[in-house]
Structure 1
Amino acid sequence: MTHISYDEWKRYVKNELNETDLERYDDHLYTCDQCLELYLEAVNEVETELPVLSNEDEFTNLIMAQVSESKGKIPVTKIPFYQKTLFHYAIAVAMTLLFTMSGVFQSITTYVDAVEGPELKESTPSVTEELVNKTFAWMDHMKNKGAGN
């Protein structure tokens, strides 16, 4: 891993780098603890060169005023009614009621009964029945074996 020099971190803190270098340095900070320490040292050194706010309350009030002015300027995108969840639920309810009232669900059940047919109803016994039958057969075998001695 290539480390970034202290002077480069100072340029980064002063925002004197181009966009690609800024992004590369940002990504590097997430993976390198050594460079993170150099970055923090550079921030501490450059901090003395930054302008000091004379009246912090006035600055805060100015920022808050700008925020409240821009609040009305933020474009609000309205979601069309057909993209809302409630619309989708309403369509599902309407289709369910329509299918129920028209008898579609009833015709589906008769179709299933016709497809299922008698040959499927006379299928092999279930696993539980087979297990019980084998158990009884084993017990009968043991009983007969014991009686034969």
Structure 2
Amino acid sequence: MEHVSKEQLARFVEGELPDAENKLVETHLDDCDICFQLYVSAIDDWSMPEIGLSETFTSETVAKITNQNACYHAKSSNPPASKARKKQTFAHYLLAAGLTVVLMLTGAFQNVLTISDQTSVKDEVSITDQLMNTTTSWLDQLKGEINR
């Protein structure tokens, strides 16, 4: 492909080229430093299309955000509900702590340890050892067949 023209680069930058021609230009820009430099200068010369924003856009947007934040804070700050929630959480904590003390004093936790000490751990061969033994015996059989 020959060098890309400035008009073609401008259309490439603006995204106005057909897909096939767009791919050819991309491939050429990867290979040709001269055209790549022209492409960079075309990007520098390219101006953004004007977006029609009103003069009061910024102030209106800030006002909307401020109103939304004020509404959010008004909804989320509910002191009576949070106090009630804290009281409920504290009551649950006291109940759990009290039950723990009672169970410790009655020796319930000691009985759990005694029961777990009395159970015996079975001496079983682990799965890994079983696999190793099976594989070893299979390899020994295979070695015996090859030696025959």
TM-score (norm 2): 0.41
TM-score (norm 1): 0.41
